[in-house]
């Protein structure tokens, strides 16, 4: 029995060293794309962790709001004004601001993000906080984000071992520290703009930030009555509230934050540029591989053409080679990226995870990259004339 092995595979596998070098080059490009997309996705995921974990049907923010990490406060009366509208059940104010937490081991101060709310009911979806949020009613007690970066010291370990730890927190411009006690832990994680998080009561928040106007809040959480139509309520609030505030759904709130990092910050532009450049580099690498292979087997292609094979057949062979390289180069690239994702996640504490969407995006990109390279590399093949060779 004679096996019908495709010519494309035979040409690639003939020179094994060159073939494996080619696969290594494509695997490297795949890893590059995986890492760029992974970090870009981590940027959006980490920047919107708070948005996703807030309880609320609608969200009220200042018309000057840019991002969660930029303070754009508005009058608390605007939030309570919404209670006069139909289908509004309750509201909750949220205060957010950067402070500096003193590492209890080395005494250095590091920026930490402080979120304050009135602990009469939990406004976060975080399981640990929902179970023990009443502890925040005790003055100076706070919840610490165990997923924060390690600069803040072994707070998580000390708390779990029931070791007493005195922590000191400073307002960003303050010179005098304020003593706090860790009463619980939660997991939220850092972002590109935040190294760690604290959740405190609104009263503790005001003691930390004594210069802060208590009548100014940063985010308003609006809870609707059961059965209410969010879009109808949103339209009603947007039409009748003063224009110094904006009402959004959760999805709009999250997309607004993503747009800020994508369009208004250098890091968003850099990530988009690097993903594009990774694709371009991949096209160039695969083009060199395929063009070199065509040059090596140029006489063979000319012979096939002299035997009556049309250009279409020769081009199909090159495109088959492109697909083989894409498939076989993608597999090691995917495996290597899994290990690098874990390494990067442990090092940065960012939510860098592999999922089906990323795997498909890179696979499709690698395939398009190789097919594009195949198209450009066949220019020489289209013009081959057996009479010029023999």
Above 90 in pLDDT, residue 335? Answer: yes
Compute the average pLDDT of residues 302-308. Answer: 68
Above 90 in pLDDT, residue 272? Answer: no
Rounded (5°) CA angle 31-34-39 = 125
Query: Considering only 107-111, 130-134, 146-150, which range has the smallest mean pLDDT?
Result: 130-134
Residue 190 or 389, more confident: 190
Question: Which residues are within 8 A (CB) of 315 and not within 5 positions of it... i.e. 6 or more apart?
Answer: 378, 381, 382
pLDDT score of 176: 84
pLDDT score of 72: 86
What pTM was computed for the model?
0.83
pLDDT score of 2: 38
Half-sphere exposure of 284 (CA within 13 A, CB side): 6
Torsion of CA 356, 336, 353, 361, to 10 degrees: -40
Q: What is the pLDDT of the chain when averaged over all its residues?
A: 87
Judge residue 23's burial from the number of C-beta atoms within 10 Å of its C-beta, 0-12 exposed, 13-18 middle, 19 or more buried: buried
Residue 131 or 255, more confident: 255
Identify the top-confidence range among 8-12, 290-294, 355-359: 355-359
pLDDT score of 301: 67
Residue 66 or 173, more confident: 66
- What would the two tokens of residue 80 be? 């309570």
Query: In whole angstroms, what is the distance from residue 141 CA to residue 279 CA?
Result: 50
Q: What is the pLDDT of residues 348-379, one digit of tens each?
A: 888 999 999 999 999 998 899 888 888 887 77
pLDDT score of 1: 32
pLDDT score of 237: 95
A 10 A CB-CB count for 226 gives 6
Above 60 in pLDDT, residue 337? Answer: yes
pLDDT score of 9: 77
Query: In whole angstroms, what is the distance from residue 236 CA to residue 347 CA?
Result: 46
Q: What is the pLDDT of residues 30-65, one digit of tens each?
A: 999 999 899 999 999 999 999 999 999 999 999 999
Q: What is the pLDDT of residues 308-324, one digit of tens each?
A: 666 677 778 888 888 88
Give the pLDDT band of residue 89 (cuts 50, 70, 90): very high
Q: What is the pLDDT of residues 138-185, one digit of tens each?
A: 989 999 999 999 999 999 998 888 887 779 999 887 788 899 999 999
Q: Which of 24, 19, 12, 27 is nearest to 294 (CA)?
A: 12
Give the pLDDT band of residue 382 (cuts 50, 70, 90): low
Q: What is the residue whose two structure tokens read 């919107």?
A: 48
Q: What is the pLDDT of residues 18-32, one digit of tens each?
A: 788 888 888 998 999
pLDDT score of 380: 65
Query: In whole angstroms, what is the distance from residue 13 CA to residue 27 CA?
Result: 17
Query: In whole angstroms, what is the distance from residue 148 CA to residue 71 CA?
Result: 21
Query: In whole angstroms, what is the distance from residue 228 CA to residue 87 CA?
Result: 6
pLDDT score of 305: 67
C-beta separation of 221 from 94 below 8 A: yes
Give the pLDDT band of residue 282 (cuts 50, 70, 90): confident
Above 90 in pLDDT, residue 116? Answer: yes
SS3 of the chain = CCCCCCHHHHHHHHCHHHHHHHHHHHHHHHHHHHHHHHHHHHHHHHHCHHHHHECCCEEEEECCCCCCCCCCCEEHHHHHHHHHCCCEEEEEEEEEEEEEEECCCCCCEEEEEEEEECCCCCCECCHHHHHHHHHHHCCCEEEEECCCCHHHCCHHHHHHCCCCCCEEEEECCCCCCEEEEEEEEECCCCCCCCCCEEEEEHHHHHHHCCCCCCCEECEEEEEECCCCCHHHHHHHHHHHCCCCEEEEEHHHHHHHHHHHHHHCCHHHHHHHHHHHHHHHHHHHHHHHHHHHHHHHCHHHHHHHHHCCCCHHHHHHHHHHHHHHHHHHHHHHHHHHHHHHHHHHHHHHCCCCCCCHHHHHHHHHHHHHHHHHHHHHHCHHHHCCCHHHHC
Q: How far are the Cα atoms of 11, 124, 166, 237 from residue 134, in angstroms, in the given order? A: 71, 13, 21, 32
- Domains of the chain, residue spans: 7-46+266-389, 64-242
pLDDT score of 281: 84
Q: Which of 93, 68, 57 is nearest to 237 (CA)?
A: 57
pLDDT score of 285: 83
């Amino acid at each position: 029995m004679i096996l019908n092995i495709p010519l494309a595979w035979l040409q690639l596998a003939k020179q094994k060293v060159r073939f494996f070098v080619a696969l290594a080059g494509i695997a490297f490009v795949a890893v590059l794309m995986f890492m760029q997309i992974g970090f870009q996705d981590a940027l959006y995921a980490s920047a919107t962790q708070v948005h996703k974990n807030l309880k609320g049907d609608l969200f009220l923010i200042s018309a000057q709001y840019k991002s969660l990490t930029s303070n754009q406060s508005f009058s608390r009366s605007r939030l309570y004004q919404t209670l006069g509208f139909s289908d509004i059940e309750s509201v909750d104010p949220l205060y957010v601001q950067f402070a500096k937490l003193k590492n209890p081991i080395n005494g250095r101060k590091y920026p930490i993000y402080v979120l304050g709310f009135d602990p009469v009911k939990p406004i976060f979806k975080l399981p640990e906080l929902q179970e023990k949020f009443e502890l925040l009613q005790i003055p100076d007690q706070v919840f610490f984000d165990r997923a924060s970066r390690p600069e803040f010291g072994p707070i998580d370990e000390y708390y779990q071992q029931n070791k007493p730890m005195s922590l000191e927190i400073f307002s960003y411009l303050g010179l005098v520290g304020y003593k706090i006690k860790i009463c619980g832990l939660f997991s939220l994680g850092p972002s590109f703009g935040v190294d760690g998080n604290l959740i405190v009561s609104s009263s503790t928040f005001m003691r930390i930030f004594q210069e802060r106007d208590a009548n100014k809040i940063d985010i308003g959480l609006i809870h609707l009555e059961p059965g209410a139509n969010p879009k109808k309520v949103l339209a009603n609030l947007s039409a009748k509230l003063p224009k110094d505030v904006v009402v959004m759904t959760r999805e709009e709130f999250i997309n607004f934050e993503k747009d800020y990092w994508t369009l208004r910050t250098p890091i968003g532009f850099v990530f988009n540029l690097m993903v594009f450049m990774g694709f371009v580099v991949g096209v160039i690498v695969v083009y060199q591989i395929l063009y070199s292979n065509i040059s090596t087997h140029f006489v063979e292609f000319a012979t096939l053409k002299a035997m009556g094979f049309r250009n279409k057949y020769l081009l199909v062979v090159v495109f088959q080679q492109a697909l083989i390289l894409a498939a076989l180069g993608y597999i090691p690239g995917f495996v290597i990226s899994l290990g690098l994702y874990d390494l990067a996640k442990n090092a940065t504490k960012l939510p860098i995870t592999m999922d089906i969407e990323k795997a498909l995006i890179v696979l499709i990109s690698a395939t398009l990259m190789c097919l594009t390279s195949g198209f450009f590399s066949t220019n020489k093949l289209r013009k081959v004339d057996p009479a010029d060779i023999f």
